[in-house]
Amino acid sequence: MGVSARALATIAALTGVVVLAAGCSNDEVKPKWTGADSSAGGPSASASAAELPKAAFAAPNDGANDVSTATDLSLQAEPGANAQVTLTDASGAAVAGGLSSDGKAWVPGTQLKYGTQYTATVTSAGDTAGKKVSFTTMAKPGKTVNVSTAVSDNKTYGVGMPIVVRFGSSVPQDMRAAVEKRLIVTTTPPQVGTWYWFSGGEVHYRPKEYWQSGTKINVRLAVGGLQLTKNGWGSKDVTSTFNIGDKIVMTTDDKTHQMTVEQNGTVIKTVPVSLGKAKTPSSSGNMVVMDKNQSELFVGTDPSDPYRETVYWTQRITSGGEYIHAADWSEGDQGKRNVSHGCTNVSVSNAKYLYNLTKIGDVVIVKNTTRKLAWGNGWTDWDKSWDEFVKGSALPPPADTTASPSANPAVSASASA
């Protein structure tokens, strides 16, 4: 995944914000990177050749075998823009890639081939002969682990959209840091973000603040050939490119039984609602739209309060079953009292209006109900402050970790209809 020098973007693994700026096949373009504060990384380019450290490889070792196809080329020094790295396979074909933000490694832009010999060369100012290593990658493993993401190519999402990654087998805690380093998020414009492990099978990425409208995001899950469990390796790299659309925020206050709809900071509509009744209260917290359907069949699971209803213009906001949806049977209650099984009931016309306005990833905030949103009950990434969210990473926080406003705490589960 080479990134051109004229369109620098932010590649954020949990260690910070990285920009790969040059493919190895372009000798005229110098690899560059920026930090989270947009300052230059590595030694000053103005330093003399004599002052700059000479680059050499720390790993893989020359002659190494069974090297992971997800390997990086670690450097013994931090030569920054002083270094030029090339990597070629046995046929002489070049592999694109670029330096990490700290200058300690060169990262191939794609998964390397199985059972293939590669030759890497690094040169630096005052050492044009450079240092060279050859190594051979591992054979294709017998057991592979599938890795997937909830985001799709060329789709537009809301400003609250987390990048949700799921693993076919649980990643042990002692292996999560190595895995996290290979989950690469590139954003234009740059925005600081980090990952949070909800479990060994699921990790989410979110920025410090909501995504900026118009942001272009590239995701590379560089896990092909990476060991993910004690005896399982990633089956292949996964990539996706998507965009962030207008900022839509739907805020519902149970005290007023009203939903306020904002688009790019401007209130565009107020919608009367009916939330969950006393026995089945709605969750208060910070959520996002997870899924949308023109119709769904809702079936109650409580024998004392059964229902079976086809519901229209649905927008799911929790995994436990809370939705925004049309409810013609409660239109007389909307704006006045709560009669639902936990969902946000709105009129048919308002439900259709909201359905046509929103995107997956748009922000939903519910306030002043008797139930707090349970952490992990859906895409609850925004229900923790940034300072709390960064603690869910297996790596140190990114450079910019100044506090952001706290979100509502999460203490209990929810169910609805």
Rg (CA), the chain: 25
Tell me whether residue 341 is one of the annotated catalytic residues.
Answer: no
Contact 114, 74 (CB under 8 A): no
Catalytic position from the list 24, 204, 257, 325: 325
- Distant-in-sequence, close-in-space partners of 302: CB < 8 Å, separation ≥ 6: none
For residue 301, is it left (φ>0), alpha (ψ between -120 and 50) or beta?
alpha
Tell me whether residue 343 is one of the annotated catalytic residues.
Answer: yes
Distance CA(90)–CA(79), nearest Å, equals 27
Catalytic position from the list 24, 204, 341, 343: 343
Residue 154: what residue type? N
Which sequence positions are flagged as catalytic?
A: 325, 343
